[in-house]
Structure 1
Amino acid sequence: MWRPDRIAWWTGALFALGSLLFLIPGIAALGSSATWIGFGFATGSVFFTSAALLQLVAASEAPHRGRPRHERTLLRPRGWLPQRVDWVAAAVQFPGTILFNVNTFVALDHALDPHQMDVRVWGPDMIGSACFLIASTLAFANAEHRWLSFRPRDLDWQIAAWNLLGSIFFGISAVAAFVEPSTGDPVNDAIANGGTAAGAACFLIGALLLPLQAERQQRRLRAPGRDDDRPADGAQALGTA
């Protein structure tokens, strides 16, 4: 759905590009250590951060329980809304993407010793993955207003579920990427790269569904007598939903 005039469209597009740039290198890393793989991850992390910023702005400006939507601009986010689950999820996820920037760009330095790798690369990766997992867990609960649910025909639930699954895979990948000081090798390189690729695939699906979800939410906003407390225009992508 081509709607470049909407924040949700750009959020979905940027998350999709970021996911793709993690998916392709993640698959390639299973059988190669080519230099371009690291650059692919680093570039993808920039798209993730850009999308997460847009998502945080959208969550700050989304109408809630009948409150009017304010005009949104990137330079004037209006909301500090810790009482809103969708906003908290986006606010937790955004620093997680910044930590992935640190993780992927520092990893381009192949001169790091095992200790430096664990502190400068694995540490940000692990904390960033934890941010994603917390954000997507909150978002999954918020999608149907309960911690556990199973509604595979509901688009909001689908996006939240794909993003939660992606965060779980990223977390598994981060654990397996810890560098053993005695050997200088990751705990399990195959699981680390495979988890990254699997998580990116899940995030890609969630991102591609986002414009459709935003369009449906716009219709709900225009519907007479609307009483919907779900955020509109881009509050569900990647780790949040």
Structure 2
Amino acid sequence: MTLTHQCWLFVIGSLCFATGTAPGFSALAGAGAANVACFIGSWFFTSAAWVQLVRSGPEGSAEWLSAATQFAGTVLFNVSTGASVWAHAVLAERRLVWAPDAVGSFAFLVSAAFGVVAVSAQVGSWVPRSRDWQAEWVNMIGCLAFAASAVGAFVYKTGTAADEVLANVGTFFGALCFMAAAVLVLPRGQSARGPG
């Protein structure tokens, strides 16, 4: 698998998350369709994260730690998005959906921090003209948005979310950031031709 495969898997996964949480999508298509879109997206994320881990630098390096932590976070999103498809009780939502989502979001933040360290070592700490530098910081913003989303998605004992708008907007914006980061590092000439 190549960097091109990795990027397109992240793009497709991001599109699924963005679609599932787009303003009005849930009202139009239903919560079930939104949850399924995110569940499908989570598998594209995990596939991309696996490719990234396999391609990453030596084990223990900042690049490898970023990829390994991100892969773990994507697996947690597989759990949370999968559980959201079938969890129909408040206790199940809190334990099976929100908890893995929150831990997965934290893993994404840790991964982004390692990514910033790795890219700073490779290209410098302030190199805004570098696509790798731009992609890593856009990725960090996406991870912060996913973390905000997890806070908004906390499920109270009554079954209501702490802030449903924040949960959806955070995921939507984060997904767009992840898509932009993937496009930034996509080898040139590939974006016009599509995946592969």
TM-score (norm 2): 0.88
2:33 counterpart of 1:11? no
Alignment match, 1:27? 22
**Contact kept in structure 2, 1:30 and 1:193, CA below 8 Å:** no
CA–CA distance in structure 2, aligned partners of residues 144 and 34 of structure 1 = 41
Greater C-alpha Rg? 1
C-alpha RMSD over aligned residues: 2.0
- Inter-partner Cα distance in structure 2 for 1:185 and 1:193: 14
Deviations 1:30-55 (A, max 9, x none): 76244211110000000000010000
Give the structure with the larger helix fraction: 2
Give the match for residue 107 of structure 2: 131
The answer to whether the aligner puts 1:39 opposite 2:39 as a matched pair is: no
Q: Is the 8 A contact 2:80 2:101 kept in 1?
A: yes
| d(CA) in 1 for partners of 2:132, 2:31 | 38
Match of 1:58 among 9, 33, 55: 55
1:190 matches 2:143: no
Deviation at 1:149, TM superposition (A): 4.0
Distance 1:194 1:23 in 2: 9
The range that moved more, 25-34 or 124-133, is 25-34
With 115-124 and 195-204 compared, the bigger mean Cα shift is at 115-124
Q: Which runs of 5 or more residues in structure 1 are unaligned? A: 1-5, 63-78, 216-241
Equivalence for 2:194: none
Asked if the contact 2:87–2:93 (Cα under 8 Å) also holds between the matched residues in 1, the reply is no
What runs of 5+ residues in structure 2 fail to find an aligned partner? 191-196
Inter-partner Cα distance in structure 2 for 1:198 and 1:187: 18
Please state if 1:152 is matched with 2:147: no
- Choose which of 139, 162, 165 in structure 1 pairs with 2:141: 165
